[in-house]
Amino acid sequence: MSLWVLISVILAPSSVFALEIQGRLNGSIIPSGLRSITAEERIPILALIYGVDEDLAWAIIHCESSWRPRALNLNKNLTVDHSYWQVNTVWIEKMSIIGFDVTNPDQNLEAGFWILSKYGVGPWSASKKCWQRKTLSRQGTG
């Protein structure tokens, strides 16, 4: 990501919307050059772009998948949770419309930020006790 994009995101949050619309054509608003960095290195960038609390994102991902990009969980209702954020199959159609394949770990990482920015923590309510503790611990208050 070039410096001017970061500056425009900080100074003009409406730029994020334009960047998001433009980026959705490729399934990501992260420039291709930054997709080669690790998932952990992308967290602060994605948190800034999507306006999501970085500590909360770290905590949810840790609790949901322990940072395993290929984590899968079969639920009692026969849906499957995928990758970092454990995005459930009920999201597959909606996310594919906007350009994300939640079964792909790289796209799952960004899709989780998109979901969190639009829907809050509700999709991760089952692991709430875990990520609330982790968030407090990461902030040094727990």
Q: pTM to 2 decimals?
A: 0.74
Cα end-to-end distance, the chain, whole Å = 34
Q: Which residue range(s) make up the domain with 55?
A: 3-138
Name the band, by pLDDT with cuts 50, 70 and 90, for residue 48: very high
Q: How many domains, in total, are found in the chain?
A: 1
> Per residue in 49-69, pLDDT tens?
999 999 999 999 999 999 999
Question: CA 49, 50, 52 angle in degrees (round to 5)?
Answer: 115
The CATH number for 85's domain is 1.10.530
Q: How many residues does the chain have?
A: 142
65-94 b/e with 16+ CB inside 10 Å = b?
beeeeebeeeeeeeebbbbbbbbbeebbee
Distance CA 118, CA 110 (A): 13
